[in-house]
């Protein structure tokens, strides 16, 4: 069941005649769930030859079918959904299949071993325990799916050994520290304030002040929880009396540069977990006089973000950058080694050839 991968020079064949007549795939459900028939016509031809293996439109389609089933199993029978997926992905899937053959050739040279148990386990994970029935839904045979999964596992392991391990080894403690030192020069965190505002309003400022003092006592002496304050005030206020309104704000998370001067002048005098005394201020919404009580939950000092907070993120970023660089270098090395004709590949990808048609 495993394919034999022999190392050979790779050349692209862009002018092959059709290998078979157009193939039609039937479906009865559209992407939007409407009950309508659709037909995908596949204009099959050989697009490339890699490692002695011809890559045709049908080969690309079968690979995309497996990807489609993995991502969108609910649309397996939708011709429109498949067609859109094909159109969006066939070019980069072709490129990936070419690079896959290069990786498979390198794996063959390196004598990388993949067990049948590893392949079977991944197939069950991908297609479920009823593998044959689910493969039938997407038009793949067991052998075809086995070879694809075998290749996927091989590629992942080759990329790990040839690319990821190099990238990980390059993310040294010294480079992490150097990245942090450079980053911290231009990335300074502002002071961050976490607070609530209790606003008391009434036309009569003396009544507003009286209510504010009462609220302050409930919070600081009776230790009423801030969340319980509105209910406590409502329970103790006469139903018909025009009592002052007491509104507790949401919890604000604000950088210091975003704070208004009036708020900042109060908050800077407070310690976390404390309430301010009642303060008479002007409302920014309607310029009316209000009384406010501030609750400062926490203040995180600004400055450079501590190294301990960024170390893991920097390491991950360096590894990510390293993988990108090493991947390009590895693929370029393989394409040079196996004599891939880049100009012919780009000519195909930039042409107006349409391998699929929805009728």
pTM above 0.85, yes or no: no
Instruction: Count CB atoms within 10 A of the CB of residue 326.
Output: 18
pLDDT of residue 22 exceeding 90: no
Domains of the chain: 23-172+315-358 (1.10.4030), 192-304 (3.10.50)
Mean pLDDT of 176-205: 93
Report pLDDT digits (tens) over 75-95: 888 889 999 999 999 999 999
Q: What is the reported pLDDT for 12? A: 30
Question: Which of these, 79, 11, 16, 69, lies nearest to 42 by C-alpha position?
Answer: 79
Q: How far apart are alpha carbons 84 and 28 in whole angstroms?
A: 15
Q: Residue 38 — very low, low, confident or very high, per pLDDT cuts 50/70/90?
A: confident
Check residue 115 and report its DSSP letter. Answer: -
pLDDT of residue 292 exceeding 50: yes
Report pLDDT digits (tens) over 248-269: 999 999 999 999 999 999 999 9
Strand ranges, E, within 208-320: 245-248, 252-255, 274-275, 279-282, 289-300, 303-304
Please provide the DSSP assignment of 24-82 as one string: EEEEEE-TT--EEEEEEEE---EEEEETTEEEEHHHHHHHHHHHHHHH-GGGTTBHHHH
Tell me the pLDDT of the chain averaged across its residues: 85
């Amino acid at each position: 069941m495993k394919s034999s991968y022999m190392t050979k020079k790779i050349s692209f064949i862009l002018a092959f005649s059709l290998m078979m007549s157009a193939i039609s795939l039937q479906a009865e459900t559209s992407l939007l769930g409407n009950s309508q028939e659709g037909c995908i016509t596949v204009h099959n031809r050989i697009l490339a030859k890699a490692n002695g293996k011809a890559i045709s439109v049908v080969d690309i389609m079968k690979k995309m079918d497996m990807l489609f089933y993995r991502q969108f199993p609910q649309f397996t029978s939708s011709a429109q959904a498949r067609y859109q997926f094909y159109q969006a992905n066939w070019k980069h899937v072709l490129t990936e299949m070419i690079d896959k053959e290069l990786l498979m050739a390198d794996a063959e040279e390196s004598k990388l071993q993949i067990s049948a148990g590893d392949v079977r386990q991944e197939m069950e994970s991908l297609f479920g325990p009823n593998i044959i029935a689910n493969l039938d839904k997407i038009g793949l045979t067991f052998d075809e799916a086995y070879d694809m999964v075998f290749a996927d596992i091989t590629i992942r392991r080759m990329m790990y050994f040839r690319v990821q391990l190099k990238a990980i080894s390059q993310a040294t403690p010294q480079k992490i520290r150097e990245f942090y030192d450079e980053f911290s020069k231009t990335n300074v965190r502002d002071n961050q304030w976490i607070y609530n505002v209790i606003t008391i309003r009434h036309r009569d400022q003396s009544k507003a002040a009286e209510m504010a003092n009462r609220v302050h006592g409930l919070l600081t002496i009776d230790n009423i929880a801030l969340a319980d304050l509105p209910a406590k005030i409502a329970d103790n206020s006469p139903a018909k009396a025009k009592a002052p309104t007491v509104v507790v704000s949401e919890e604000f998370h604000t950088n210091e540069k975003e704070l208004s001067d009036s708020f900042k002048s109060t908050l800077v005098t407070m310690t976390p977990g404390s309430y301010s005394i009642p303060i008479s201020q002007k409302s920014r919404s309607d310029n009316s006089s209000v009384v406010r009580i501030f609750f400062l939950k926490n203040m995180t000092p600004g400055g450079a973000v501590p190294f301990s907070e960024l170390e893991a993120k920097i390491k991950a970023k360096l590894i990510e950058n390293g993988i990108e660089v090493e991947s390009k270098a590895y693929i370029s090395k393989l394409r040079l080694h196996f004599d891939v004709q880049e100009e012919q590949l780009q000519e195909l990808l930039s042409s107006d050839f349409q391998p699929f048609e929805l009728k």
